[in-house]
Amino acid sequence: MKKTIATLIAGLFATAAFAQTPAPAATTTTTPAATSTQEAVKDAKADAQAAKADANEAKASAKHAKKHTKKHTAKHKEAHPKAAETAAAEPAPAK
């Protein structure tokens, strides 16, 4: 048992020593302004294309959902004619 406790304490000391060492310095590289501007333009174009694709996908999804909802509602009204009547009725007033 003493060996286990000693091992755990040694591990804590090693962790504390490792945590106090300074982080390695980050290397800095300078890029020309023209290159970064070109990259920014490419990124902007890629973002615009992605946004356009997302918009088209959302539009198609909404169109599909609308079609599916219409179809489902029509089937539901055929199967449950009374449900359509109660859905059109006024809701009970809150007390």
The answer to whether the beta carbons of residues 66 and 60 sit under 8 Å apart is no
Position 90 scores a pLDDT of 62
Report which residue type is found at 13.
F
Q: Residue 45: its pLDDT value, please?
A: 86
DSSP letter for each residue of 10-79: HHHHHHHHHHHSPPPPPP-----HHHHHHHHHHHHHHHHHHHHHHHHHHHHHHHHHHHHHHHHHHHHHHH
Between 85 and 47, whose confidence is greater?
A: 47
Both tokens of 78, joined, read 């055929």
For 40-78, how does the pLDDT look when each residue is reduced to its tens digit (9 = 90+)? 888 888 888 888 888 888 888 888 888 778 777 766 666
What pTM, to 2 d.p., does this model score? 0.35
